[in-house]
A and B are shown apart, each in its own frame.
Chain A
Amino acid sequence: MKLHLFISLLFSSPIYVSFQMAHRLLVRRIWTLSVKDLRCLLASTSSFSTSLRSSTTPLSFLSPKHTLPCSLPHTSRREVSFNVQDHEDFTERVINSALPVLIDFHAQWCGPCKILGPRLEKAVAKQKGKVAMAKVDIDDHTDLAIEYGVSAVPTVIAMRGGDVIDQFVGIKDDEALDSFVSKLVGQ
């Protein structure tokens, strides 16, 4: 009886639950990483497991942005949705992206952008890592926005292999967005 209780307690304890989640996350991350990255990741799993044991804050290895101990190749930062930092970052993570990318040109002062943003995130998340989303604040990156002919916001550009495949301006509903994103991934 006592043992049964102990085991059920153990398996429902926060540490065990977080271990489960971390394991699931790790598996998901390995799935999406390249072989090269995997090699690097496996090399670091020893430190990973020690951090697991000694960690008092389970959240430290639950965060998707957890930086792994070894320095990974720059193309392996696989956040599905990210904010573009500068021109170099744009070249690296958007133009040279292996995945097709949705570029969301938005502005702080743009009301419709705040509506479209979450809808885009949802549509992108549904693709489970087959497409990435780059967010460009046009006030911070005016030259980039002008370069891509953005005049009104929100403007969304679909890019594959550095080429503009499709684009739209304004808000779309969830259905229209899903079809737009599927088209980008599908072809």
Chain B
Amino acid sequence: MAALCRVRHRWKRTNCIQLLTRNLTGTFDYDLVVIGGGSGGLACSKEAAQLGQKVAVLDYVEPSVKGTKWGIGGTCVNVGCIPKKLMHQAALLGTALKDAQKYGWQITGPISHDWSTMAEAVQNHVRSLNWGHRVQLQDKEVKYLNVKGSLLDEHTVKGLTRTGKEIMLTAKNIVIATGGRPKYPTHIPGAVEHGITSDDIFWLKESPGKTLVVGASYVALECAGFLTGIGLETTVMVRSIPLRGFDQQMAGLVTDYMEAYGTKFSWRSVPKSVDKLSSGVLQVTWTEEQTGKDQRDTFDSVLWAVGRAPETKTLGLEKVGVKLNKESGKILVAADESTSVPNIYAFGDIGEGRPELTPTAIKAGKLLARRLAGQTNELMNYDNVATTVFTPLEYGCVGLSEEEAESRHGKDSIEVYHAFYKPLEFTVAERDASQCYIKVVCKRGGDQRILGLHFTGPNAGEVTQGFAMGFQCGATLTHLKETVGIHPTCAEELTKVNVSKRSGLDATVTGC
């Protein structure tokens, strides 16, 4: 027996010896090993530890092409939601400063923005969050390892340190929550060498200057939005449609506002190449699909926001038998987040068909931990998830888009109520509110259950959150109309909606 134990460490990779020792000892190093320390991974590991499990979380950030790297917390904390919302706020404050003068504030001299001040403040906050997560893991007794995890077999995880040292962990259950990273359009010459992605923009020490944002996802529009807001000349290059997957009428209002706000849009254009000139600026050549002509312009920075790819390549999934979706590369998961291998689970951005959102990852992670600890059978409900796009004119929604409702129920079976409203704060500030709009998509007839709710306007996230709860409870149009609004707010306009698209009447809200 003793001889076997001594030999075990040398013969680690020989499965039979491993199986033998496991059977002999019957225990694993950990009850649960989570690969990925982002929103999902951290929530799952902390919940599991709280329920008495022995847990380890492995987090490792492969530096971006430009060399950007960050601490624990994943995409949301470091290169997503948090820095994005803070920079969006910086841009909104710029607009507020302009409005302020109409409200009587005496602002002498021109208003200018310093990128370095904002970036340092944002980066410092992110670092404080990294630290906070470390402390939490320590408090909750989750073992944290800054190693790149990969699977050797269904119970063994290999961790690779930055310096190349290998460590092995065995676990009863393994959870993969490695998320995704931005894609580079590698087929475009110069794209990788000269472009940056959302992984880099929030960590730049100096202003990106005149920027070309390629893409029309919410990442592209949100970034272009705050860059314009802080005074940088920004262009968005769109191949086909903005905010694919979202209600297209609402997406149009968002981009209309951005254009009026100062962001340039290059519609139906595809970049061809990126060259660095001797002066240091980047020259981008692109093709306009409609005319077929090539255009050229120079920029200080090119930001690629053309999609995200799941982090699965270095996990050793094939060897272990975890099946992926061939097209997306994401892990195929069942309703309980299980994969094709019995004790291996996957959730968050890495799961096929899952929303790429922090709150769903956190909730799914917690429920998974509870199920693994035998505390519950409850599955994650991915329906009715509210979201908000933090563009200069924010867009919040919950439920189905008009197109999706039409396709599922038929145009004749739905009723769409809508209204163009003007936020009170815009009046004195003399701001254009043409794109401030509300849309409630309901079932026609019967109890007129609400299928989808859409809102563009200031603080859309705050407005939508409350209505999302009603939506979750199965709110009907009657419920909405029976709700007394809070006055004066933008949110109350949702309770007052009464003009249907079908009627063809003017949907502009008039005074009180």
Quick check: which of A13-21, A104-112, A162-170 contacts chain B, the rest being far away? A104-112
Residue A151 CB within 8 A of the other chain: yes
Closest Cβ of chain B to A130, distance in Å, is 32
Contacts of A146 in B (CB 8 A): 134-135, 138
Nearest-CB residue, chain A, relative to B130: A139
List which A76-101 residues lie within 8 A (CB) of chain B.
none
Interface centre among A108, A109, A138, A142 (most CB of B within 10 A): A109
Nearest-CB residue, chain A, relative to B128: A109
A140 and B128 CA atoms in complex are apart in Å by 13
A109 and B123 CA atoms in complex are apart in Å by 8
Contacts of B138 in A (CB 8 A): 146, 151
Residue B124 CB within 8 A of the other chain: yes
Contacts of B127 in A (CB 8 A): 107-109, 139
Residue B103 CB within 8 A of the other chain: no
Q: Is the Cβ of A109 less than 8 Å from the Cβ of B134? A: no
Q: Is the Cβ of B135 less than 8 Å from the Cβ of A109? A: no
Closest Cβ of chain B to A26, distance in Å, is 41
Residue B125 CB within 8 A of the other chain: yes
List which A146-186 residues lie within 8 A (CB) of chain B.
146, 151, 153
Q: Is the Cβ of A142 less than 8 Å from the Cβ of B124? A: no
Q: Is the Cβ of A108 less than 8 Å from the Cβ of B124? A: yes
Contacts of B134 in A (CB 8 A): 142, 146
Q: Is the Cβ of A107 less than 8 Å from the Cβ of B135? A: no
Residue B131 CB within 8 A of the other chain: yes
A146 and B134 CA atoms in complex are apart in Å by 8
Closest Cβ of chain B to A145, distance in Å, is 8
A87 and B128 CA atoms in complex are apart in Å by 22
A185 and B372 CA atoms in complex are apart in Å by 53
Nearest-CB residue, chain B, relative to A147: B138
How many chain-A residues does the 8 Å CB contact rule pick out? Answer: 10
Interface of B is mostly: helix
A139 and B134 CA atoms in complex are apart in Å by 10
Contacts of B124 in A (CB 8 A): 108-109
Contacts of B135 in A (CB 8 A): 146, 151
Contacts of A110 in B (CB 8 A): 128
List which A111-156 residues lie within 8 A (CB) of chain B.
138-139, 142, 146, 151, 153
Contacts of B71 in A (CB 8 A): 139
Nearest-CB residue, chain B, relative to A109: B124
Closest Cβ of chain B to A155, distance in Å, is 11
A107 and B132 CA atoms in complex are apart in Å by 12
Closest Cβ of chain B to A93, distance in Å, is 24
Closest Cβ of chain A to B162, distance in Å, is 14
B489-502 interface code vs A (CB 8 A; 1 in, 0 out): 00000000000000
What is the interface residue range for chain B against chain A?
10 to 19
A184 and B135 CA atoms in complex are apart in Å by 28
Closest Cβ of chain B to A167, distance in Å, is 16
A146 and B130 CA atoms in complex are apart in Å by 13
Contacts of A139 in B (CB 8 A): 71, 127, 130-131
Nearest-CB residue, chain B, relative to A152: B135
Contacts of A153 in B (CB 8 A): 131
Contacts of A138 in B (CB 8 A): 131
Our pick among A109, A142, A151 for the contact of B125 (Cβ within 8 Å) is A109
List which B111-132 residues lie within 8 A (CB) of chain A.
123-125, 127-128, 130-131
Contacts of A109 in B (CB 8 A): 123-125, 127-128
A142 and B130 CA atoms in complex are apart in Å by 10
A108 and B125 CA atoms in complex are apart in Å by 10
A138 and B131 CA atoms in complex are apart in Å by 8
Interface centre among B127, B131, B138 (most CB of A within 10 A): B131
Nearest-CB residue, chain A, relative to B146: A142
Nearest-CB residue, chain A, relative to B127: A109
Closest Cβ of chain A to B113, distance in Å, is 21
Contacts of A108 in B (CB 8 A): 124, 127
Closest Cβ of chain B to A56, distance in Å, is 37
List which B72-125 residues lie within 8 A (CB) of chain A.
123-125
Contacts of B130 in A (CB 8 A): 139
Nearest-CB residue, chain A, relative to B139: A151
A110 and B125 CA atoms in complex are apart in Å by 9
A155 and B128 CA atoms in complex are apart in Å by 15
A109 and B127 CA atoms in complex are apart in Å by 7
List which B445-482 residues lie within 8 A (CB) of chain A.
none
Nearest-CB residue, chain B, relative to A150: B135
Nearest-CB residue, chain B, relative to A151: B135
A142 and B139 CA atoms in complex are apart in Å by 14
A153 and B371 CA atoms in complex are apart in Å by 36
Closest Cβ of chain A to B202, distance in Å, is 14
Nearest-CB residue, chain A, relative to B135: A151
Closest Cβ of chain B to A112, distance in Å, is 12
A109 and B124 CA atoms in complex are apart in Å by 4
A160 and B135 CA atoms in complex are apart in Å by 26
Contacts of A107 in B (CB 8 A): 127-128, 131
A110 and B121 CA atoms in complex are apart in Å by 11
A107 and B134 CA atoms in complex are apart in Å by 14
List which B412-460 residues lie within 8 A (CB) of chain A.
none
A139 and B123 CA atoms in complex are apart in Å by 13
List which B270-313 residues lie within 8 A (CB) of chain A.
none
A77 and B501 CA atoms in complex are apart in Å by 80
A142 and B125 CA atoms in complex are apart in Å by 17
Q: Which 9 A-B pairs have the closest CB atoms?
A: A109-B124, A109-B127, A151-B135, A109-B128, A146-B138, A139-B127, A142-B134, A108-B124, A138-B131
Can you add 7 more A-B contacts, CB < 8 Å, to A109-B127, A139-B127, A139-B130?
A: A107-B128, A109-B123, A138-B131, A142-B134, A146-B134, A146-B138, A151-B135
A-B contact pairs, 15 of them (CB 8 A): A107-B127, A107-B128, A108-B124, A108-B127, A109-B123, A109-B127, A110-B128, A138-B131, A139-B127, A142-B131, A142-B134, A146-B134, A151-B135, A151-B138, A153-B131
